[in-house]
Amino acid sequence: MDRRNHYAAEGAKPLHCIVKLGGSAITCKNELETINEDNLRVVSLQLRHGIISGPSHGMDWSRRPGSTEIETLVDDFDDELESDCKRLIVVHGAGSFGHFQASKSGVHKGGLSKPLVKSGFVATRISVTTLNLEIVRALAKDGIPSIGMSPFSCGWSTCERNIAAADTSTVVEALDAGFVPVLHGDAVLDSSLGCTILSGDVIIHHLAEHLRPVYVVFLTDVSGVYDRPPTEPDAVLLREIAVHEDGSWSVLQPKLQDASRQVEITVAAHDTTGGMVTKITEAAMIAKLGIDVYIVKAATEHSAMALRGQLPKNIPNDWVGTVIRLAN
C-alpha cells in the first residue's frame, strides 16, 4: 500500500497540524548562527500546550556544556500514564543558519563539480542540522517527543529545484509511533543541477498534499502578510486571502481602498529559498487542497490561538494574522 495515503486509506487518527517555524522568528537573522532563545522557548511552550493533554516529562537527557551530570527525573515516570499527544509535524527554516554558507558558495545554483560548491554543501548541512538539533532539544525539554529528520538523509531530492523524490513513509512511521517529526530546509542533491536548497515551505506543501493535516500554521517574525514590506508606514495587513481553483488569489479582508494598489513582495538578498514569495506561493497551493493556512507572528497570544486549533471555525475580530483558505 502507498504510505503517502496512509491517513485517508486506513482511517488513522488525523494529522492535527503542520507548523512552520520561520527562520527569522526562531533565529536572530542578522547574527550568524544565533538562536532567538526567547522566541523558541515561548513557541515550544505554546506547542506543548496546544498538542499535549495531561502531564509531560522533559526528554532532554543530554549533558550540557560545563555540566557534569545528566538531569533526569526518571522516578517520576509512570508506565500506566501517558499523555495524549496530537499528531503534529514541525518544519523549520534556517534563518541565520545555513543561508550564509549557501549563498556564499552558490549551493542553491548547483554545480557540485566546483570545490567551493561542494564545500558549501557540507558547510550548509552542518549549519542547518546544528539548528535542527537545538530546536529538537528545546521541544524535548518541554516534553514534546520530537525527532529530527533531515530531508537529505531521508532521501529527498530534486530535479531543476522541483521535488523529484520525497518518501514520507519515515515521517508517517514516526507519527504512528507517537513522535513529532521535526524537518528543516536542507541542501539536497538535484539530478539536473547537481545540488540545490530545498526550502521548508516547499517541504510543508509536499507533506500537506500527501498527509492532509487539519490546518497549517506559519510562525513568522511579522504579524502576517502585508500588501508591501511591513516596514513601510502605509503597509496594510491582509487578514483574509481567498485562493481560487485556478491558483489565483484575492484579498477578502480588508477591502483595499485603492483598487489599483498591488501587493508587493520582496526577498532579502541573502535568502536562497525565495523568502515571502515562496511562502505565499506554497501557502496558496496548500489552501487549494482545502486546508486552511494561518500566518501569524511567533511567540504571541495570536500564535498561541492558532497552535491550539481555535481558529478553523471562527476567526475572532481581534485576532492578528493572515488566513489563507480556499474560496467558497
- Set of cell numbers at residue 314: 471562527
Phi/psi at 130 (nearest 5 deg)?
-65, -45
Distance of CA 240 to the CA centre of its chain: 20
Which residues make up each annotated binding site? 20-24, 94-95, 99, 200, 221, 275, 279
Phi/psi at 325 (nearest 5 deg)?
-145, 165
Which residues make up each annotated binding site for ATP? 20-24, 95, 221, 275, 279
Q: Please give the Cα distance from 328 to 307 (Å, whole number).
A: 24
Which residues make up each annotated binding site for substrate? 94, 99, 200
- Set of cell numbers at residue 239: 487578514
Q: Please give the Cα distance from 118 to 124 (Å, whole number).
A: 10
The set of residues, in sequence order, having a beta carbon less than 8 Å from that of 72 and lying 6+ positions away, is 58, 61
CA angle 180, 302, 283 (to 5 degrees): 65
115-141 and 37-51 are packed helices; what angle lies between their axes, rounded to 10 degrees? 60
The set of residues, in sequence order, having a beta carbon less than 8 Å from that of 87 and lying 6+ positions away, is 13, 14, 15, 16, 175
